[in-house]
Amino acid sequence: MKEIKITTNRKKNQMTKKKVEVLERAGNMVYIFHNSRFGMDLFMNAQTAKDAMKQFDRCAFENRNEWRISVEIPQQPSGGTNVS
């Protein structure tokens, strides 16, 4: 899957296009579907984002525009030296 990002170069005051390749990670991932109206979250295990969307569609929730999708990444930020 390819994605095109449009960015602005402030110094030159012009728009540029940048092609970015989005790779789906193989393996089980946790997708979080957040309902912005009611403030509830639905956690779902899926192999890919496409698989997660198919599973979500099977639930047949109304008002799809109220839902936001996030994914839990396998490597979380470490404490590092900035931890107090």
Task: Determine the pLDDT at residue 18.
Answer: 56
Task: Determine the pLDDT at residue 1.
Answer: 44
What residue ranges of the chain have pLDDT lower than 70?
1-27, 76-84
Give me 25's structure tokens.
């990670």
User: What are the domain boundaries of the chain?
Assistant: 25-74
Q: Under 8 Å CB-to-CB from 7, ≥6 apart: which residues?
A: 15, 16, 17, 18
CB 72 within 8 A of CB 28: no
Say what the pTM is. 0.56
Residues 33, 50: Cα–Cα separation, whole Å: 13
